[in-house]
Amino acid sequence: MSYQIIVCGSLVPDPLQTLEPVTGPQGPALKNEMMLPSWLDPWAGHALYEAARLAGQHAGSKVWLVSLGPKAKLQQVMMTVAQKVPFELVALDGSAGGFTDASETAAALAEAILAIPGLDLTKLLLFGGWESASRGAGATLQIVGERLGITDQFQGVDSLTLEADGSLRILERVEGGKHQVSVCSAPPAVLGWATGSLPEPRNNPQVGMANMRGIMPALQKAKPSPVSTGDITFTSVTLPTQTRTTQVIKDASPEQIAADIVAWIKGG
pLDDT (tens digit, 9 = 90+) per residue, 127-180?
Answer: 988 877 666 667 888 999 999 999 999 988 999 998 888 899 999 988 877 889
- Among residues 218, 226, 223, which one has the least CA distance to residue 112? 223
- Give every CB contact of residue 80 below 8 A, 6+ residues apart in sequence: 39, 203
On whether residue 95 sits in a domain, the answer given is: yes
Q: How far is CA 225 from CA 15, 20, 96, 109, in A?
A: 25, 25, 11, 9
- Give every CB contact of residue 264 below 8 A, 6+ residues apart in sequence: none
On whether residue 17 sits in a domain, the answer given is: yes
Position 257 confidence tier, pLDDT thresholds 50, 70, 90: confident
| Predicted pLDDT of residue 149 | 93
Q: Which phi and psi (to 5°) does residue 238 adopt? A: -140, 160
On whether residue 175 sits in a domain, the answer given is: yes
Domain count, the chain: 1
| Predicted pLDDT of residue 117 | 92
H or E, element range at 143: helix 140-147
- The span from the CA of 262 to the CA of 268, in Å, is 10
Q: Is 12 exposed, middle or buried (0-12, 13-18, 19+ CB in 10 A)?
A: buried
| Predicted pLDDT of residue 6 | 95
- Among residues 139, 145, 127, which one has the least CA distance to residue 67? 127
Decide the pairing of beta strands 88-93 and 178-184: unpaired
Tell me the helices (H) and strands (E) count for the chain, helix number first. 6, 13
| Predicted pLDDT of residue 231 | 66
Omega prior to 224 cis, within 30 of 0: no
CATH of the domain at 118: 3.40.50.620
On whether residue 233 sits in a domain, the answer given is: no
On whether residue 250 sits in a domain, the answer given is: no
* Residue numbers of the domain that contains 184: 4-224
- Give every CB contact of residue 72 below 8 A, 6+ residues apart in sequence: 34
On whether residue 248 sits in a domain, the answer given is: no
- The span from the CA of 112 to the CA of 2, in Å, is 22
Give all strands (DSSP E) within 71-152, no chain letters: 88-93, 124-129
| Predicted pLDDT of residue 34 | 73
On whether residue 230 sits in a domain, the answer given is: no
- Among residues 2, 27, 30, 3, which one has the least CA distance to residue 17? 30
pLDDT (tens digit, 9 = 90+) per residue, 85-133?
Answer: 999 999 888 877 767 777 888 888 999 999 999 999 999 999 988 877 6
Opening angle at CA 187, ends 64 and 90, nearest 5? 15
Q: Which phi and psi (to 5°) does residue 55 adopt? A: -65, -35
On whether residue 72 sits in a domain, the answer given is: yes
Q: What's the mean pLDDT when you consider all of the chain?
A: 84
| Predicted pLDDT of residue 69 | 83
